[in-house]
Amino acid sequence: MNTEIKVYYEDTDASERVYYANYLKFLERGRTDYLYNLGFTHKNILAKYKFYFVVKNCKIDYIKPAYFEDTLKITTKIINISKVKILFHQQIKKKEELLVDSEILITPVFFNGKIAKIPNEMLEKFST
């Protein structure tokens, strides 16, 4: 799944490079679009299943910077999934040049902080 974004001035630091923490926002957009593409939204997951996803672990390798007004492609794919976690591999590229390589582990939790289980109907959609 690919998501395309444009770098705005608000995403950059004084050098017009993307501020490092903003790459995490870009990756979040990629995962959100991945869910949307499968027919899920964060709101409908919360309403139907009473849980939400949180980032449990994040590994990110900053290879090259992106700049103001660049158009970036975020590639998102699942590399491992179970009832209690989803491991995404995500990359951010400018054209075909790799800028960021990451693995993001998310887990479903209830509002009381306890781990939830991803329902089979969701797991089936993630596996397609």
Q: Which of 13, 33, 61, 70 is catalytic?
A: 13
Q: Terminus-to-terminus CA distance in the chain, angstroms?
A: 12
Q: Write the CB contacts of 114 (distance below 8 Å, at least 6 apart in sequence).
A: none
Residue type, 93: K
- Nearest CA to 83 out of 126, 118, 127 is that of 118
**Does the annotation mark 70 as catalytic?**
no
Place of tokens 């490092």: 20
As annotated, the active-site residues are: 13
